[in-house]
Structure 1
């Protein structure tokens, strides 16, 4: 059975439309697609990306979605104004433009200029104020305004995202797995954040693991896993992939191209 997948979108709604078009060109309008998370941040239209995904799902498209670390950061900011994630060792705030929170808020009509303080407790970068429309908002005030502007459907979509999807010989997950740990015992932080101990592992799994999270210049097949984060969050094209009995392929305007592990 043929299944398609799209890696980290990061607010690139135009690239998302292009990728879905390539999939429908190959597999028709009812193609099964698994989206690998990180729908928001960095790109200019996180709102448009979520609008598109939710509309497709609600129209009955056979689309499924997993949670990414950026989706969790956005959700946590909306819930409580939380700017940090314990997995970011640098102490950067989600509101730092490198992580992309301001671009996400801007897509909902909250464009502004963030100013930071550095906490003495661990050196974490902390939002001092956010200047928007002539007003200076604190982190909690900004989160409150965001909660009003972000549609309930978007908040519910983020809250309901599963951590992985097991589909026959494939496992779809945002970041990867902790090698040697049963799937049922994997923890969320690893499933949406892991790099160390995962990217260099040659361990085989019961499935071909399809993931994103670690940005490359182009998707890569590593034998035991396929990384579909081709760097769309940093300006690269969003490259969808197809998995079927003939193998793994990336999709382009001129059709399928094989994606194989190194010889």
Structure 2
């Protein structure tokens, strides 16, 4: 039976990410499966206190050969583009500034020792950010995947554009889409495992599973294990089966 793990939005909370990995480690011990991939659904950075630590943790795990897959979330792309020459805006949402209080870029930069209020203009702040963020972190952001498919499960950050084949999905939709996807009950050709839109608890909607339990707003970083068509929420007490709603 094919087994996959997935972890929802992290938003700079290293301790919560470590806790999610501890639950996966415990499940691996029970199953004896040390090679099933762990798919991180993106939004690794922004809002939380230790964005730098999160990226260091992930880089370290990959360097040790951990079977981890890292997907790009919209917040990760905010950071990715800001660090490029000219502090480029997020291409799908040029109306949003990464440094706006509701986005979380200031917290991310603070984790690298860059205080946004200490620089006279955006150019100076960009220069300070580029100097502070290690190249390994830039490389990680640039190398994040837009999506990942394994058998009958399709992992992405936000969701998919209904009616568009999974192989033809646009990255802007994969990291930004909401209502058009969330409100569509159709079978998308695979079970879609995603985050991006916070929910109170991990929820199986039949055609999709939402793992974003609001880590950026005080909630946990959640993890699941998927075996065939069965999805289980990983908790301190062990696996909790997720029954499709509707």
Please indicate the TM-score interval, normalised by the length of the shorter structure. Answer: over 0.9
Q: 2:122 aligned with 1:139, yes or no?
A: yes
Q: Which residue of the partner structure matches residue 6 of structure 2?
A: 5
Q: Which residue of the partner structure matches residue 109 of structure 2?
A: 105
Q: Which residue of the partner structure matches residue 120 of structure 1?
A: none
Residue by residue over 1:121-166, the C-alpha shift from the partner in whole angstroms, topping out at 9 and shown as x without a partner, is: xxxxxxxxxx22xxx3311211111111111111001101111101
Q: How many residue pairs get matched? A: 241
Among candidates 46, 52, 57, match of residue 57 of structure 2: 52
Contact 2:77/2:90 (8 A) holds in 1: no
Shift of residue 87, structure 1, vs aligned partner: 4.3
Shift of residue 30, structure 1, vs aligned partner: 4.6
Q: CA separation in 1, counterparts of 2:169 and 2:234?
A: 31
Q: CA separation in 2, counterparts of 1:138 and 1:101?
A: 16
Residue by residue over 1:90-117, the C-alpha shift from the partner in whole angstroms, topping out at 9 and shown as x without a partner, is: x3421012110000000001134xxxxx
Higher helix share: 2
Q: Against the structure 1 CA distance between its residues 81 and 245, is the aligned structure 2 distance closer, same or farther, given a 3 Å change threshold?
A: same
Higher strand share: 1
Root-mean-square deviation (Å): 1.6
TM-score by length of 2: 0.93
Among candidates 195, 198, 201, match of residue 218 of structure 1: 201
Q: CA separation in 1, counterparts of 2:228 and 2:80?
A: 37
Q: Which residue of the partner structure matches residue 149 of structure 1?
A: 132
Alignment of 1:86-105 (within 5 A): 87-88=92-93, 91-105=95-109
Q: CA separation in 1, counterparts of 2:156 and 2:211?
A: 11
Q: 2:171 aligned with 1:171, yes or no?
A: no
Among candidates 219, 234, 238, match of residue 217 of structure 2: 234
Q: Which residue of the partner structure matches residue 36 of structure 1?
A: 41
Q: CA separation in 2, counterparts of 1:15 and 1:235?
A: 10
Q: CA separation in 1, counterparts of 2:186 and 2:82?
A: 36
TM-score by length of 1: 0.87
Q: Which residue of the partner structure matches residue 141 of structure 2?
A: 158
Q: Which residue of the partner structure matches residue 207 of structure 1?
A: 190
Shift of residue 82, structure 1, vs aligned partner: 3.6
Unaligned runs of 5+ in 1: 113-130
Unaligned runs of 5+ in 2: none
